[in-house]
Amino acid sequence: MIENSSTRLNKYISESGICSRREADKFIESKVVFINGKCARMGDQVNPGDVVRVNGIIIEPKPVEDAIYILFNKPPGITCTTDLSTKDNIITYISYGERIFPVGRLDKDSQGLIILTSNGDIVNKILRAGNEHEKEYLVTVDKPITEQFIKTMASGVPILGVNTKKCKVVAESKFVFRITLVQGLNRQIRRMCEYLGYDVLRLERVRIMHLSLKGIPVGEYREFKKHELAELNELLKNSKPEPVQKTQSNPTPAGKKVVSKKPNFRPGTKTGFGTKDTRSAGGKPKAAGKGRAGNSSKSTTKNTGGRAGRTRSSR
């Protein structure tokens, strides 16, 4: 939806549903974004009537009510990337049929809850560390858990050059503990355990903010329920998106080519996205009756915050 005022370019791109705002910045830096035929720069504004192209394809923001929000119970072995050339990538596994991308990451060896959406603007609000949105995990380790282990994990552990933030840690059994984080350092829980001499045997994310895995079998997904989406919008109302990082322009050394990373567009529509993909992950036609919703009711409930209420197995 184009408003009667200008919109920051990266926000405009993310609202089209092709990527997050951070990824939009990368496309701008790669010089594959044009406004009215002119190569765009970081910080540019899009005015009503402007034509924006990414990799030669015209894009337009989607209406808010058409945004997609999915809860997926990721099995181990699936990689949280939109790069379709990566083996066992999350997009091919789900084979949703419309352009979506994961909110953050979950290690390939880990399992559990991850959000996928077409709303690029909401991604940064959830991920930004300063907003401190909770993520809860159940972790199984290779040695008996001690009181000292719980106390040290909760108070903070030095990894990746910083001390982790204080967090809630509770022993569930001899080898299993529950941990709630408000930050997302790379392989944080595994690194924390390793620092204390423990190996993680199983790691499952069971909650993101108010959203849980309840009722979603491993390898399956469902769309948000209306009340979940309403609560998410309320929780994010005062959340700030990731700040735009200023980048220095580095001149290209003589004799070297600049290779731009192109967005992974799906052909078939004016925007290159939103094309219904009737193939399964293996490239074969999907069985009749397994559309995007995939249940017998085929509910198409909508509200002002986005589509909600449908459930489907990804396999």
The pLDDT of 37-64, averaged and rounded, is 89
* Res. 284: pLDDT tops 60: no
Please name which of 47, 38, 53, 41 lies closest in space to residue 244, comparing C-alpha atoms: 41
List active site positions.
107
pLDDT at 265 over 50: no
What percentage of the chain carries pLDDT values higher than 70?
72
Q: What does the mean pLDDT of the chain come to?
A: 78
Q: How far is CA 72 from each of CA 75, 104, 302, 309, rounded to the nearest angstrom?
A: 9, 13, 20, 14
In the structure, what pLDDT confidence band is assigned to residue 307 with cuts at 50, 70 and 90? low
pLDDT value of position 107: 93
- Comparing 50-54, 69-73, 128-132, which segment has the lowest mean pLDDT? 128-132
Residue 175, helix vs strand vs coil? coil
Q: First-to-last CA distance in the chain?
A: 33
- Superfamily of domain 134-208 in CATH is Alpha-L RNA-binding motif (3.30.70.1560)
Question: Which residue, 267, 207, 221, 271, is CA-closest to 15?
Answer: 271
Phi first, then psi: give them for residue 10, nearest 5 degrees.
-65, -35
Write down the pLDDT at residue 308.
58
**302 Cα distance to chain centroid:** 22
How far is it, in rounded angstroms, from Cα 315 to Cα 309?
Answer: 19
Structural domain spans, the chain: 134-208
Two tokens at 38? 């002119």
Q: Give the confidence band of 120 by pLDDT, cuts at 50, 70, 90.
A: confident
Least confident of 66-75, 122-131, 156-165, 261-270: 261-270
DSSP state of 19: S
Contact 58, 50 (CB under 8 A): no
Q: What is the pLDDT of residue 98?
A: 84
pLDDT at 130: 59
Amino acid at 103: V
Comparing 40-54, 237-251, 270-284, 301-315, the range with the smallest average pLDDT is 270-284
Residue 4 burial by Cβ neighbours in a 10 Å radius (0-12, 13-18, 19+): exposed
- Do residues 91 and 84 lie in contact, with contact meaning Cβ atoms separated by under 8 Å? yes
Residue 293: per-residue pLDDT: 37
**Segment 55-112, tens digit of pLDDT:** 999 988 777 677 899 999 999 999 999 888 999 999 999 999 888 889 988 999 999 9
For the segment 211-251, what is each residue's pLDDT rounded down to a tens digit?
Answer: 999 999 999 999 999 999 999 988 888 765 555 444 343 43
CB 178 within 8 A of CB 137: yes
